[in-house]
Structure 1
Amino acid sequence: MEITLIEQLEERLRQAMLKNDVSTLEELIANDLVFTTHTGELIDKQTDLEAHRSPIQKLVLLQAQQQRVQLYGNTAVVTVKMEVAGTLEGKAFAGIYRYTRVWASQPQENWQVVAGHVSEVL
């Protein structure tokens, strides 16, 4: 049951990223998020949300492949290979990336992404 829930949350996250739906992202991302970008930069929740608020980044494709969910009590680890395309600072980009996301559920709280990492698949 929980794996299905995490898969549904992953889909909500993917759709919110495509639509720059900041209110849904606000709900799904923990306030103390630590995320490592494909360049090795560490970003927090506010930096991530700002990228979706501004016209700097626009995603047009997030096609999931090879998704795997592993549960550890109130924590889930998701690994997914993703075909990504969009624009960044007005320049088009496309590539295959591997994401790792850690979802956690605290008492009286919904599941949220608490940590993540993305690497380009070469």
Structure 2
Amino acid sequence: MKLVLKYLLLVPCIAGYIYGYPQTIEAQKTVDNINRSIDEAVVKKDVNKLKQLYADDFVFTHGTGYVEGKTSWIKDVENPTKKFTSRVHDSTLVELHDNVAIVTGSLAITRSDADKLVRYGIRYVRVFALRNNSWQLISHRTVKEWHFK
């Protein structure tokens, strides 16, 4: 019985390796790294990088329900009176579907607006699409938001 159980557990592992499981792990790591680099670019106000990583049809749904696109969001990031000082990811999971990746996670965000420090956290769902051999963010939806004192 133990031998049969070991066989049943081992076969899917070997099949996963033969049929692309390592590539899946690499793709998940790639998407996770891009996901994190987007928020690093927001903190650095690296507009050129954001223009590459956001798709032209990018949709950003904030926790308040406000919806904006790529151009509007990048303009907001450029705003000199608003500075994101940190955007730290936690609990990210990447789910792959051919040329689409769904990323869930949370962000702890610190931002200074003029002279006021704002700290809050969000849970998000992000959708990436593989276009022209590059992963681009096509959707960000904040599903929960909370503020720190």
TM-score by length of 1: 0.91
Say if 2:37 is the partner of 1:18: no
Match of 1:75 in 2: 100
Deviations 1:22-68 (A, max 9, x none): 00000000011111011101100001110111213211121111111
Q: Shift of the alpha carbon at 1:18?
A: 0.9
Q: Return the structure number with greater relative CO, CA threshold 8 A, min gap 6.
A: 1
Match of 1:86 in 2: 111
The percentage of counterpart residues that share the same residue type is: 26
C-alpha RMSD over aligned residues: 1.5
Deviations 1:53-99 (A, max 9, x none): 12132111211111111001100011111111112354321011112
The 3-state SS of whatever aligns with 2:35 is helix
Match of 1:35 in 2: 60
Match of 2:19 in 1: none
- Which stretches of structure 1, 4 residues or longer, exceed 3 Å deviation after superposition? none
Match of 1:114 in 2: 138
Mapped contact 1:98–1:121 kept (Cα < 8 A): no
Q: How many residues align?
A: 121
Q: Give the direction of change, closer, same or farther, for the CA distance of 1:109–1:56 in structure 2 (3 Å limit).
A: farther
Distance 1:103 1:90 in 2: 35
- Higher-Rg structure is 2
Mapped contact 2:82–2:114 kept (Cα < 8 A): yes
Structure 2 gaps of 5+ residues are 1-25
